[in-house]
Amino acid sequence: NRVFGMAGILDTARYRAFLAEALNCSPKDIQAVLMGGHGDTMVPLPRYTTVSGIPVTELIDTPRLDAIVDRTKKGGGELVNLMGTSAWYAPGAAAAQMVEAIVRDQKRIFPVCAWLNGKYVLDKIYLGVPVKLVKKGIEEIIELKLNADEMALLEGSAASVKEVMAVLDNMPEAAK
């Protein structure tokens, strides 16, 4: 419960920003969930995305929403192409949010990279999922009721993460 990552917060912030731009509203009014790995296999969940409580699917048509989901998945690469380097402010801001939630025991719900041991029918993998952060770290992993399509995307993201883990596991000791 004390070892976790922040990529989910960073990716969700990007998703919210792209939605806010399309809807011409504040990203502060958007609540969203994004799961899975960090990169092209992440899983933004429009079904769990709202704007001041209104389902985003009632405010934006499917083709535009699909384009935003795709842009979110590739958003890190978009930044690198624009800046010539990876971002530094956004990851720092995401980490600061997590630190504040922990230090102040705010019981915030965030999508973070957490160790899964049976949750979401996934085992022995760190993957982005919604959790409750408290003073002692992750108090609870929140299991959303994913439909078959969403679960397939999450399983695909997990498989991609495991491929990367296998590359590291199979590296010669001298290279590690």
Q: Which stretch of DSSP H or E encloses residue 127?
A: strand 123-134
**Calpha distance 46→34 (Å, rounded):** 9
Instruction: Give the C-alpha distances (Å, rounded to integers) separating 38 from 9, 77, 103, 139, 160.
Output: 10, 11, 25, 22, 10
Q: Which residues contact 52 (CB under 8 A, 6 or more apart)?
A: 29
One-letter identity of residue 14: R
Query: What is the residue type of 84?
Result: G
Which strand (E) or helix (H) includes residue 113? strand 108-117
Q: Which of 38, 68, 116, 122 is catalytic?
A: 38
Residue 29 main-chain phi, psi, to 5 deg: -85, -5
Residue 83 tokens, joined: 């800046």
73 is catalytic: no
**Catalytic residues, which ones?**
38
